[in-house]
Structure 1
Amino acid sequence: MLPNAIKRLFQAHRTKVVTTILTVFVLGFATFFAYTAYASGEKTLTLEKNGKKYSITTRANTVEELLKEQNIDIDEKHDWVNPSLDADVEDQMTVQWKEAHQVDLSVDGKSKRLWTTAMTVQQLLDQQGIKTDQYDTVKPESGSEIAGNMNVSIDRGIQVSLFDGKKKPTHIKAVAHTTVKQLLENQGITLGKNDKLLPKDRNQELNDDEVVKITRVDKETTTETEPIDYEIVKQNDSSLEKGQTRVIQNGEEGQVEKTYEITKATDHKGTTENRTLLKKRVTKNPKKKIIAVGTKVIQHQSQTSRSLSSSNDTVLYMQSTAFTASCKGCNGITSLGINLKAHPSSKVIAVDPSVIPLGSKVWVEGYGYAIAGDTGGGISGKKIDVFLPSKSQANRWGTRTVKVKILN
């Protein structure tokens, strides 16, 4: 009996163990298949957010579900998503998302507000088709990252015309807000202490198409010696017959030293010169010329007076001017060959030969006896030109009407 009981007990235990093992096996197998079924719904893909790539695992079915799963708040109107939000999510795919930002873009002071998915300022400019060069100022710099509510400004470079003295004008490209001083420094231009600059304010900012003008100014001093005309003094002389004159003292020119400042201003139009008298010093005083003028009236009629009062004498009233031998274009030789420079005391008048024949002896009121020894382009009709030794005497003679007798 005992052995059979033990046998039955052993068999019952073995059955229980086998049942437990089978139960564990079935549960493990079921868990494996359940996990495999769950895992088979996941996908591994690349998510690119604003240019940065991430490897993620997801069970999302569409791109929109994927982005919401990643806590990305999508602005469907402005953000950029690729592929589209309703596209199916597939294993090993790449989903791209770029967030849009609102930016205020200003070009030369003209602003506009826009949305952009550009990552940098340069990308924004490329999207807008805006070209820049080295003279344009972009703020923030082109490599800066775009952020929301950003202000991006572009100041275009300027064109400036530079006139430097007599050099050929140059046209220079410069960045905006360049000052006059900066332009000169960039061009390696140095100004002299007397040079003139326009605009005058070196800190002034230049505008597009503005002109910068430099006038080069040179100054020097020079001393020159100039003559001083002598004075002619007339004295009445009762011992001389009225109408006659006699030189008591010959005149001599004086000398004066004058120091001038000469300023030469040169610009693109040429050079102008200005002379300023700084000082003068008389080195030699002039000597007066003294002339005795006769006042004596002769009561008896001499042979000469009879000739003057002869009924055959021609008396004319003529307009008279005066000339010298040193006038511009004059050689000092008269039409009759008289050398006035060699004989400055000669009494000679220029005439119109059709009125007073050349070689005629004449008497001129206020001048005395003379010879009609010259002609002149401006001497026509009842007009004469009396010769005087110096320019100052000729100036004092001026223009006057005189009585002229042609002596026979």
Structure 2
Amino acid sequence: MYVPPVYASAPASGRRRAYGQPAHGPYPQYPPRAPYPVPRQPVGQPRPMTAPAPAPAPAPAAPPAPPASPSRHRRNPDDTYRPSYEQAEAKRPEGGRAALRRAARERKAAQRPEVLRRLVPQALVVAFLAGGTSAFVAHDKEVRLSVDGSPRTLHTFAGDVGELLSDEGVVLDEHDSVGPSPDRPLSDGDEVAFSHGRPLDLTLDGRRHRVWTTARTVHDALRRLGVRTQGAALSLAPSADIPRSGLRLEVATERTVILLADGEEKSLRTNAGTVLEALTEAGIELDGLDATSAPMDSFPHDGQTITVMRITGSEKVKEERIPFKTVRHADPQLPQGTEVVAREGRTGLRRVTYRLRTVNGVREKPRRIAVEVLRHPRKQIIRVGTLPLPQSVPGADHLNWAALAQCESGNRPGAVDASGHHGGLYQFDTPTWHAVGGSGRPQHAPAHEQTYRAKKLYVSQGASPWPYCGRKLSR
């Protein structure tokens, strides 16, 4: 780097100081140097940013050189300083001032490509920095972000609301709310409000619900849900905060309940949680067996009518017989239609306790509340024949039994006469039926068994059992 020499002013005595001598005090004696033109930096060319070259070592003294040319001014022969006009005169070429101007123009024309070569990169760097700064200023936005009611102002390069939330580490869940929408472009001066969703286990008038809300207090949450809180009973204070983990809340709104007791109707405005609490508020007491139309621990709803039942009652004990069961077993040794009682049945005995109640003066049907068995019943066992009956009875097979059946019963095996004593195809009475080996009632036996029993009766008594239709047998 070029450092111009320091020229000190001349002493007051008028004596001129040699070039490079200090202004005051003694100074070292430097050998005189030959005159040389002062180097000048070309116009527009930057100076190289290098450290100054170290000073050369002092050379041995030499005798002063004679002046190059005569001068119009007298000077100290030891002074190497030459005025600028002398230097100009030394450099002035032949031809005068016109030649000087021509030489200056030629020097400028030679220096112009070098100057342009140095200035173009600098101009490009300046333009790039200016463009980057403009882009930085254009994309930087000042916005106001509020998270759960806590606002703050920040600078961001985000393009939309969703990118802003992502840059700030705010995760948007399905129950959260944000305004404006996440895909809306972001501009300078915008305000963004974000609220986290909070779970709320709400029991409202006895019914449990799981809801989500972005409200931060109980009162604000109930207001957004449209719950009427005037006169309501809350399990938490309205000003209680709702944490992000949620909470449980029970709300009983004020309702109108109609109470019917002792022949009177009473309308009660209450927020009681149970029917018993509503009765207590109304001053209705329950005694003994008294009850209500709705369970006492149930929730009374708006407009519900609750009836109080005054109950008086007593108990009554009775002994009752227990009927026995009949069991039938097939016996292949007995002919079909034959039944034999193998074991007689026996009835049991039990002691039953009944409750007798009178509700509001009306006696109810007795209700059995306790049973004690004193004697267990014994089953009756009957053997039922399964041996097929013979279809033929000698001495009666040739008769017209179909005509007799048509005449007696219209050929209906289950027919019964008006008196109820005779039944079946041939209108047997029960004693006669049993006499020929039948069991039960004749109208309950199969048709082929009834014909078989009728043939046996004819063999023993002839047609006399059928005084009117007996003549049909011979046709």
TM-score by length of 1: 0.37
Normalized per residue, which structure has more helix?
2
Which structure has the bigger radius of gyration? 2
Normalized per residue, which structure has more strand?
1
Q: Which has the higher contact order (CA 8 A, sep 6+)?
A: 1
